[in-house]
Chains A and B, each alone.
Chain A
Amino acid sequence: MKVFELVEELGLKVFSGHKGLDREISGGYVSDLLSDVMGNAQEAQVWITLQVHQNVMAIASLKDLAAVILVSNLEPQENTKQNSDEENIPILGTSLPAFEIAGKIYQAFNR
């Protein structure tokens, strides 16, 4: 599944990093602790979080993640969006809390 397919299927908002929308997704990871993501997320996963600052993009880039999904209508900071455009890693958004969006993504993957 590609990032843009997930965006279409779940009606996600695309804040930035549009050039990365054709990245292939390998799965997902949910965490707001950066060391946890750094240590345990896998390449090409989508990262579901409520963190909106630019260190999120540093980690997404170092870990080669497919996209970042911000939950509960949160919006990325301006410099976070800039980094996302530079790294071509999309930042997506949803009105749903982490539990619900994770459930939907899990379903989409296991259909």
Chain B
Amino acid sequence: MKLTFTIQGGDFTHAGHPSSEVKKVLKQLNIDNKIIKNVVIALYEAEVNVVAHAYSGTVNVEIDENKITILVTDEGPGIPDIDLAMKPGYSTASKSVQEMGFGAGMGLPNIKKNTDEMWLETEVGKGTKVKMLNYFA
């Protein structure tokens, strides 16, 4: 099964919509609740990263018998230093984004913690791709 969503940079109103849809689908498929929780946390963080930092993005979800693979691709500024971005507590979010309670520097670490595998590809000035994989068993 394949699902696709688009994300608009700066649009906090709709942040969480893809996560919510994926959660519904996984529930219908009777996937283990703990795995659904992990997937939802990781996808929500990836969505917020696009909303907070990029201009636009797409979420491509692929669900098969034993795993879910999610690719979040954005057009945005890219990440100059991945190691630093992966460090809990490090954030480049704007002050207004931080005042909303985002930008605590926990996004990428939360993604890593809640996925079985994670890949990050980025090019400064172009954008970032985050691929997340969770096995169902």
Chain A residues close to B by CB (< 8 Å): 32-36, 38-39, 43, 49, 51, 53-55, 58-59, 61-63, 79
Q: Which 3 residue pairs across A and B have the least CB separation, nearest first?
A: A58-B16, A35-B106, A33-B104
Tell me the complex Cα distance, A16–B108, Å. 33
A71 to chain B, nearest CB (A): 14
User: Which of B40-48, B58-66, B123-131 is near enough to bind chain A?
Assistant: B40-48
Q: Which residue of B lies closest to A39 (CB)?
A: B110
Which residues of the other chain, B, contact A59 by a CB distance below 8 angstroms?
16, 44
Chain B residues close to A by CB (< 8 Å): 12-13, 15-16, 19-20, 23, 37, 40-41, 44-45, 48, 100-102, 104, 106-107, 110, 113-114
Which residues of the other chain, A, contact B37 by a CB distance below 8 angstroms?
43, 63
Asked whether B16 lies within 8 Å of A62 as measured between CB atoms, the reply is: yes
Partner of A39, one of B12, B19, B41, B102: B41
Q: Which residue of B lies closest to A35 (CB)?
A: B106
- For the A-B complex, the count of residue pairs with Cβ-Cβ distances under 8 Å equals 59
Tell me the complex Cα distance, A108–B48, Å. 35
Interface of B is mostly: helix
Asked whether A34 lies within 8 Å of B20 as measured between CB atoms, the reply is: no
Tell me which of B20, B100, B113 has the highest count of chain A C-beta atoms within 10 A of its own C-beta.
B100
Which residues of the other chain, A, contact B114 by a CB distance below 8 angstroms?
39
Asked whether A58 lies within 8 Å of B104 as measured between CB atoms, the reply is: no
Asked whether B20 lies within 8 Å of A61 as measured between CB atoms, the reply is: yes
Tell me the complex Cα distance, A54–B16, Å. 11
Which residues of the other chain, A, contact B19 by a CB distance below 8 angstroms?
58, 62
Which residues of the other chain, A, contact B101 by a CB distance below 8 angstroms?
32-34, 49, 51, 55
Tell me the complex Cα distance, A39–B12, Å. 19
- Asked, given contacts A33-B106, A35-B110, A36-B106, whether A55 binds B15 with beta carbons under 8 Å apart, the answer is yes
Which residues of the other chain, A, contact B12 by a CB distance below 8 angstroms?
53-55
- Asked, given contacts A32-B101, A51-B100, A51-B101, whether A58 binds B106 with beta carbons under 8 Å apart, the answer is no
- Asked, given contacts A35-B102, A35-B104, A35-B106, whether A54 binds B113 with beta carbons under 8 Å apart, the answer is no
Q: For the A-B complex with A35-B110, A43-B37 known, give 8 more contacts whose Cβ atoms are closer than 8 Å.
A: A34-B101, A35-B104, A39-B41, A39-B114, A53-B12, A55-B100, A62-B44, A63-B37
